[in-house]
Homo-oligomer: A and B are copies of this chain.
């Protein structure tokens, strides 16, 4: 991967600088070690260098000569043109000019008065770069050593009173920010998040196209309904009674691309799900969709690990990532997406307590944690009780363990006697899920008191061997989607014990958040038909897809990563809304335009909609 270094650091080595560079590398032995050195530094410095690299191109095609973040003492004496927003004025003499790249202090001439220019006015300044007087130099500001003496100031656009100030220390409520997103985007964190998002996606594309021979193919979003998934938006047409559906993912298309011999496909795809009644979901979202032919699970997992290491290198550990079966995750963390940034694992102790119940589903789990936390407050006891009730599970807190299970119980569990313990027992499959929820609460309490070592970066985990089916009200439902292949070792159970069949599905979990998933797909049309039948899905709506499977479909596997979540994690943003330029707010409402809106009578007639 070394040549990338050259691209990344183009600022450092221009053609004209090559002679001294090559001279400095004259001794062959030195060359290699030095380049290896450069190489190893690449990954950690890529972001920093990427910024350098672009610095001199930000002004191309514009009428500014420099950005507001660019001027340094080496520019002193130069005539410059800056464009930006008035960030601040002081003493009618200093004007701070801001753009996306930084802030520059500009000095108003003696006899001029610019105090009537409101903040956030858009201006163009023609001036000369000067050294700031020594004591006025500001080391916290990248441009803090210089100032620009204004020769000419032109107001490019006036500004009305804004609904909120652009001060980081008095950030407005999110609702107001979203309603005026075009102002909110000027905050440094929004600028940084959107730029990081663009850079991450670009790195991913470079890895996939240049380093891995994938091609990006755009697939339609106006399609027919895919049975057995989330609710899909429908799009009425001029033809009465006929509707498109907005795709919830390019799943069918990417599998058909495999049939078509496009054997290494990806797409940064817009997907739609009508979950607008859930407040934390976006009706449209972005996923990095990948599929490849002649590959097994291991190939896909390695690909994604390399991809993420390439594009998130500072934040993610070196591959391979940890892997864990679905069963192990449930038995030890009480969830299929355990947060592995901290080490808090529970124990299956069912065998110790099997005399309590004769139910076949009886389970008991113990969660040990440091005694330093002390007793739970009554508020948290109440929360734990609620969780227990919801799951129909009995919870025994540390202080009641001896009373409930006897004095030597902890000894039998082989848990360190100095630890506190919470135990969940129950006659249903929720028992471990219940303790999983409690685990997260205990973790947050421990973290708040500094009693839990927690990784600050991203901690990825593969969860594999998901079940193929889950129980549904009517019979069976898929755990992932109906195109997931069963685990070859469990195929014999398909007819007799379908709920015991594992699938070749895998999920990527980062810091307890599911950021992606995929599977080896069914490529055999008969098996696919059988699975649809077991799931009670009418095959008619998938005729084209089933035809594709019998037209020479190669074995294939793939994955989809949720870009909004992944970027939010990488940016340490609280919400995916902070990494989306124009997100919808609660219930899918667009805070800017108020959409969804009423439409015209003419449109209603044209689309045969009730008026």
Give complex CA distance A216, B263 in Å.
27
Is A448 interfacial (CB 8 A cutoff)?
Answer: no
* Contact A553:B157 (CB < 8 A) given known A3-B6, A28-B22, A62-B295: yes
A253 proximal to B (CB < 8 A) = yes
A30 to chain B, nearest CB (A): 10
A218 touches B581 (CB 8 A): yes
For residue A272, which residue of chain B has the nearest CB? B222
Cβ-neighbour of A221 out of B206, B225, B284, B553 (below 8 A): B284
- Distance of A186 Cα from B599 Cα, bound (Å): 44
Query: With the chains together, A185 CA to B554 CA distance in Å?
Result: 14
CB neighbours (8 Å) of A233 from chain B are 222, 235-236
A198 within 8 A of B: yes
A488 in the interface (beta carbon within 8 A): no
Chain B residues in 8 Å Cβ range of A317: none
Q: A3 — which chain B residues lie within 8 A by C-beta?
A: 6-7, 9-10, 13
**A551-B162 contact, Cβ under 8 Å, with A63-B294, A201-B216, A210-B53:** yes
B277 touches A62 (CB 8 A): no
Whether, in the assembled complex, A316 has its beta carbon less than 8 Å from a beta carbon of chain B, the answer is no
Q: Is the CB of A256 within 8 A of B122?
A: no
A328 contacts B by Cβ under 8 Å: no
Contact pattern, A 268-283, Cβ under 8 Å of B = 1, otherwise 0: 0010101011000001
On chain B, the residues within 8 Å of A111 by CB distance are none
Whether the pair B211, A57 counts as a contact (CB closer than 8 A) is yes
A58 to chain B, nearest CB (A): 4
Binds B, one of A402-410, A464-472, A603-611: A603-611
* Contact of A181 with B by CB under 8 A: yes
Return chain B residues, CB-CB under 8 Å to A555: 122, 156-157
Ordered by A's residue number, 5 sampled pairs between the chains whose C-beta atoms are within 8 Å are A62-B295, A181-B260, A198-B215, A218-B286, A541-B597
Please name 7 further chain A to chain B contacts, defined as beta carbons within 8 Å, in addition to the given A220-B582, A221-B270, sorted by A numbering.
A26-B26, A100-B263, A158-B550, A159-B551, A198-B216, A202-B205, A219-B582
9 closest cross-chain pairs (CB), A and B: A185-B260, A61-B299, A198-B215, A242-B596, A224-B593, A224-B595, A182-B259, A182-B256, A120-B552
